[in-house]
Amino acid sequence: MSRIAYVNGRYLPFRDAKVHVEDRGYQFSDAVYEVCEVRDGRLIEERRHLERLKRSLGELRISMPMSPAALGVVLREVVARNRIGYGMVYLQISRGVARRDHAFPSPPVAPSLVVTARPLNMARNAALAAAGIAVVSMPDDRWGRVDIKSVGLLTNVLARQAAIEQGARDAWFVDRDGMVTEAASANAWIVTREGALVTRRADRAILRGITRTVVLDVVGAQGLTVEERAFTLQEALAAREAFITSATQIVLPVVRIDGNAIGDGTPGPVATALRREFHRHAERN
Ligand code: PDD
């Protein structure tokens, strides 16, 4: 079956799914994106993802190309046309196509909208979670507004590649004060020796992950102690458990950081339970 993408109003076979060379997303990373998990053909946490999209667009003063409801229709149509049961849907909105000039086009041009979807391998993801992953720490050299879900991901790309070249699966960024910010495409968490869940406060130094928000709701409802605060790499190394959260990996245990085993070096009970219970709490549409 051929893959179908939505590009500026049309559903196209992948080979025809193209954007203009002067699209500002291509030229300047002047674009934002969202990634939503798909389960049983349904979107997980669509409302929150579209709310975050609206916020990212607002911060960059890019207009919403259509209403959230209409966007939801397009997302579902792309999922259906690609027959995604379990997978992800990706959407990207750029400021549009204009002659290359750093300043915003004046008068404004229509934003570009692209939506794609692809299946994920549930068995492979489950096996990854059962084994847990290794991460390596790296300096967080990203720009100061990573709370905006922009497609400017070069530092994230380089970090993920460096991690893989070092035999790990992901990177954990560490800021100038020695505090962990987040992973290359996920939020970072630890469970302290005292049993408290710790994840960084959602300031401008991390993306406010939707998975993170749902997990915070879950642990709050279960009466677990949660601390939204920065933690050091040393604290993570001494933690009972570590894990990351994202729309595509949900809760993924981290069992090694910079070659050091976390806890007993296997996925811990808190991360394992959160992964198991996540979809009982997440909204699906
Ligand atoms: N990444 N932090 C960063 C830097 C991310 O790129 C992501 C998501 C997250 C987690 O956010 P959420 O829980 O809303 O997925 C945190 C997506 C999955 C990606 O780039 O593919």
Pairing type for strands 226-228 and 241-246 reads: unpaired
- Which of 207, 250, 278 has most ligand 1 atoms within 8 Å of its beta carbon, as the pocket-test mutant? 207
Residue owning the nearest CA to atom 4 of ligand 1: 185
214 close to 282: Cβ distance less than 8 angstroms: yes
Measuring from each residue's beta carbon to the nearest atom of ligand 1, which residues come in under 6 Å? 35, 182, 185-187, 207, 209-212, 245-248
Residues annotated as catalytic are 149
pLDDT computed for residue 71 by the predictor: 98
pTM above 0.75, yes or no: yes
Say how many Å lie between the CA of residue 218 and the centre of ligand 1.
19
User: How wide is the angle at C-alpha 112 spanned by C-alphas 206 and 37, nearest 5°?
Assistant: 50
Say how many Å lie between the CA of residue 247 and the centre of ligand 1.
7
Distance CA 115, CA 93 (A): 9
Say how many Å lie between the CA of residue 206 and the centre of ligand 1.
10
Say how many Å lie between the CA of residue 248 and the centre of ligand 1.
8
Distance CA 43, CA 37 (A): 6
Say how many Å lie between the CA of residue 249 and the centre of ligand 1.
9
Per-residue pLDDT of the chain (285 residues; tens, 9 = 90+): 689 999 999 999 999 999 999 999 999 999 999 999 999 999 999 999 999 999 999 999 999 999 999 999 999 999 999 999 999 999 999 999 999 999 999 999 999 999 999 999 999 999 999 999 999 999 999 999 999 999 999 999 999 999 999 999 999 999 999 999 999 999 999 999 999 999 999 999 999 999 999 999 999 888 889 999 999 999 999 999 999 999 999 999 999 999 999 999 999 999 999 999 999 999 998
**50 token code pair:** 């579209």
Residue 246 pairs in a beta bridge with 250
Distance CA 114, CA 19 (A): 9
Q: What are the Cα distances from residue 177, in Å, to 62, 135, 145, 174?
A: 33, 19, 17, 8
- Which of 44, 92, 216, 246 has most ligand 1 atoms within 8 Å of its beta carbon, as the pocket-test mutant? 246
Distance CA 255, CA 242 (A): 7
The atom number, within ligand 1, closest to the CA of 182 reads 2
Distance CA 105, CA 63 (A): 13
